[in-house]
Structure 1
Amino acid sequence: MSPSSAAPTPPVAELLASREAPGHSEPFFTLAIPNYKRREFLEVNLRHAFAQDCRDFEILVSDDCSSDDSNQVIPGFLSASPVPFRYVAQSVNLGYDGNVRYCLNNARGKYVFMLGNDDALASPDVLTRLMAALVSLEMPDMCITNYQDWHTQAVTQRAFSTSILGQGPAAAAHYFRSFSFTSGLVFKREAAARHDTDRWDRSIYIQIFLASRILAAGGRLAGVDVVAVLDHIRLDGKLVPETYRVRYANAPLSFKHKHTGLDSVARVTIDAISPYLDDAQRSNLIRRIYSQLLTITYPFWLFEYRQLANWGMAWGVARDLWPGHQLREYKLRLRDRAYLWTLYLAVTFCGLTIPAGLFNRFRHRLSTWVRRRRQHLVTG
C-alpha cells in the first residue's frame, strides 16, 4: 500500500484578523470556509455560523486572492463572532483544491466541517446535533450529512440514518459520489492530514480523493441524518453569478466537447482506492465506478444541460465521457470494457431522446430512491 505523495509547503498566508480561544484549546469543530469572491454571500454564511448554539468550534476563512472587497470587509465582520476565528489571505492563488487543503491542514478542531462560501448552516442546532452523533458513533474518520436547497427547500439525502456506513475499498467505491458536494462533509483532522497530497490540485475534486482514500485505508465512514447545510444562498432571489446554471442558461447551440468534470471524478476516485487492490480487483473497481457515473450521475447531467441550454450542449457532455478517451488509460478485463461501452451507448441514447418533461416529473423522487436503495444495499 503506497502512501500519498507529500505535498510541498504552501506559500505563506497573511493573517488579517483573529481571535484565539482561551489557552489555545482544541475545539471540537473547525468550520472551514474556502473563499473566493462572493463577499455578500459569505456574510450570510457567517451570520448563520454566529447563530449556532454550540460554542465548541472555531471559524477559519481562507481567502484565495479574491478580486472583490472580501479582504477589506470580512475581517471586520468577523468581530461579531461569538467563537474564535481566523481570516487569512493567501499570497498566491491556490485554486479550489489547494484552498480546501489549506483549510484542512490549518484547522485546529478535532473535526473539520467544510462549508462553501455561498452555502450556510441549516439551523442553529446543527453543530450541537452533529457533535452528539459523532460522539455516539465513537468518533468516525469521515462523516456525510444532508443538505437542502435554499430556494426550493428540496432535501438531498446523503445519509438516511445515523450510523456507521462502512470502511475499506468497497465502501469507498460505493460512496464516492456522496463526496462531490463539499459542504457538509466532515473530516477527522488527523485522518485528512495522513493523506494530504497536491496531486489533484486543479481537479476541483480533492475532497473526493481525500474521503475515498481515508475509507480505502480503513477509515470509518459515518452518515448523520441531519440537514446540515442550506445549498446555494440567494440574494434578492439571485444565485451566485459564477454557477453553471447562470453561466450556461440559454447558451447558443454548440456541439463542442463540454468538460463537466465527470472524468475527473472517476480519475481521483480510482487513484484514491487503487493502491489497496490487485489487478483483478482494480478492473472490477473501475467498472463499478464508471457504472455508477453512467447510470446515476451522467443521465442527470444530460437532462440538466438539455433543459438549461440545448441539445447540442448535452451532446458535448456525452462527448466528455466517450469511453474511447476515458478507458484507454486503464488496464481492464475485456468483459468489463465491453460492458462499459454498452452501458455508455444505451444511457446516452436514452438521455438524449427521452422527453425532459417526463424525466422532471420523477426526478427528485428517483434521485432519493436511488440514494436510499444504494445505502440500504450496504448497511441493510
Structure 2
Amino acid sequence: MKISVCIPQYNRIAYLLVSLAEISRQTHPDVEICVVDDASTDDTLSRLVDVQRHSRFPFRFEQNPINRGYDYTLRRALALATGDYCVTLGNDDTLYDPGCLSRLADFLEKNQNPDVGFTNFVSDENPGAVQRRATTTGVPGSGPEVAGRHYASFAFVGGLVFRREALARINTDAFDGSVFAQVGLALRIILAGGRLFTVEEAMVRQDLHLDGQRANSWRDALHGDWRRFRRLDGGLPQLIAVVHQAFAEAGFYTPSRTYGLLRKHYRQTYPYWLLEYRSYGGWVNALGLTTGLFPAGLLSRYRLSLGYSAGVWGWYVAATALGLLMPTGLFQRLKTPLYNFIKRRNP
C-alpha cells in the first residue's frame, strides 16, 4: 500500500525541515511526500529544491505563483498525491515514530480499505499526553449520524487520512477560504456513503519545538491591553458554515440538525475557549470572543424557529457566565476528564 504524506507549506521552513527529517525515518516501504508551498516569503523554495534532490522517498513539490490560502494549498497537496491513501500534516507537525505508517497500512488493509478517518496525536511539548479525538480503533460507518458525531475531529489537520479515490470523487473548492476545507471534504465522503474509521493510537506529534521554541501559536495573540480590544470569533462561524453547507448539499438539512450544531458549539467549544484564553492571561481576548460570538449574527444566517433561537440564546448566556466566572485553576484540572467524558458520550 502506497501512502502519500501531504503538507501545505507557508513560511516556517525550519519546522518543515525537521518534520521531513522525521518522516524520512519511516519503515513503511512505499511512502511519498507531497508539499505545496503557498508563495512563502522565506527561503522555502531553495530549501525544498535541495530536499527534493536528496530525499529518501519520492518527493513531489509545487509552489503557488501567488498566495492562495490554506484551503487551496491543502487541496493541491492532496491532488499531487499518487498513493492509495493520503495522510495530512501541518508544516510544524510530524509523524509520531518510524513505524506508524506501517501500522496504519496494516489497519487499513485488515478493515477492507475504509475511506476517511483520523488518528490521535500528542503535543511535542508534552508527548506523554495523548489528545484523544479517537476513543476507539474501528470503523464507525457512514451517513449523517456518523458525520454529525465526528466532524469536529477533522478540524486539526494533522493525522487525517483520506483514501485517494474517495477524495477525488468529491474534491471541491466550495470550502476554500474557510480554513476548514478538510472538514468539508471529510463530511462529503461520509455523507456520500464513504466509511469513516478512527485510530486510537497517536500517530502525529503536533507543534514541533525548534531550539526550545514552537512555531506561532494562538497563545501568542493573547494579551491584557484594553486598547487592543476587538471582536473575535475563533473561526467558529466558518466551521459551522462548512458543516451546515456539507449537510445541506448532501440533502440532509433539517432545522433540528442546524440547532444541534449551534447548541454543540455554544455549550462546548465556546466556553472552552473563554476559559483557555483566561487561563493564559487573555481576559481581553475572552471578552472579545463574547462579543464576536453574540448569537444574533449567527442566527441571522440560518432559518430557525423562535424556540430554537431562544435555545441558542440560552446556551450563549449560560456558557458566557461559565466561561467568565469559573476559576481557571479548576478548569485546568477538569478539562481533560471533561473532554474524555464528552468523547465517550459522543464517540
Shared fold (TM-score, shorter chain, > 0.5): yes
User: In the aligned structure 1, how far is the partner of 2:281 from the partner of 2:54?
Assistant: 42
User: In the aligned structure 2, how far is the partner of 1:209 from the partner of 1:266?
Assistant: 10
Alpha carbons 2:9, 2:35 under 8 Å: kept: yes
The aligned runs of 1:322-341 (5 Å cut-off) are 322-341=294-313
Residue 200 of structure 1: how far off its partner (Å): 2.1
Alpha carbons 1:130, 1:226 under 8 Å: kept: no
Is the counterpart of residue 250 in structure 1 residue 223 in structure 2?
yes
Alpha carbons 1:176, 1:208 under 8 Å: kept: yes
Deviations 1:185-232 (A, max 9, x none): 001112222222222212111011111121112111100122110000
User: In the aligned structure 1, how far is the partner of 2:98 from the partner of 2:51?
Assistant: 19
Is the counterpart of residue 355 in structure 1 residue 327 in structure 2?
yes
Moved over 4 A (4+): none
User: In the aligned structure 2, how far is the partner of 1:126 from the partner of 1:259?
Assistant: 36
SS at match of 1:201: coil
Question: Partner letter of residue 252 of structure 1?
Answer: D
Aligned residues: 345
SS at match of 2:214: coil
| 1:346 alignment partner in structure 2 | 318
Indicate which of 83, 103, 117 corresponds to 1:143. 117
Deviations 1:142-185 (A, max 9, x none): 01100001011221112122211231112111111101000100
| 1:107 alignment partner in structure 2 | 81
Residue 137 of structure 1: how far off its partner (Å): 1.4
SS at match of 1:228: strand
Is the counterpart of residue 373 in structure 1 residue 345 in structure 2?
yes
Indicate which of 271, 276, 283 corresponds to 1:299. 271
TM-score, L = length of structure 2 = 0.95
Q: Which moved further from structure 2: 189-198 or 67-76?
A: 189-198
Question: Partner letter of residue 245 of structure 1?
Answer: R
Alpha carbons 1:172, 1:212 under 8 Å: kept: yes
Is the counterpart of residue 118 in structure 1 residue 92 in structure 2?
yes
Gaps of 5+ in 1: 1-26, 376-380
Residue 297 of structure 1: how far off its partner (Å): 1.4
User: In the aligned structure 2, how far is the partner of 1:34 from the partner of 1:370?
Assistant: 31
Residue 277 of structure 1: how far off its partner (Å): 3.8
% same residue: 36
Is the counterpart of residue 70 in structure 1 residue 41 in structure 2?
no
Indicate which of 286, 290, 303 corresponds to 2:258. 286
Residue 251 of structure 1: how far off its partner (Å): 4.7
| 2:233 alignment partner in structure 1 | 259
Gaps of 5+ in 2: none
Question: Partner letter of residue 190 of structure 1?
Answer: E
Alpha carbons 2:87, 2:159 under 8 Å: kept: yes
| 1:52 alignment partner in structure 2 | 26
| Alignment root-mean-square deviation, CA | 1.5
Question: Partner letter of residue 17 of structure 2?
Answer: E
User: In the aligned structure 1, how far is the partner of 2:230 from the partner of 2:58?
Assistant: 48
Alpha carbons 2:60, 2:80 under 8 Å: kept: no
Residue 108 of structure 1: how far off its partner (Å): 0.7
| 1:22 alignment partner in structure 2 | none
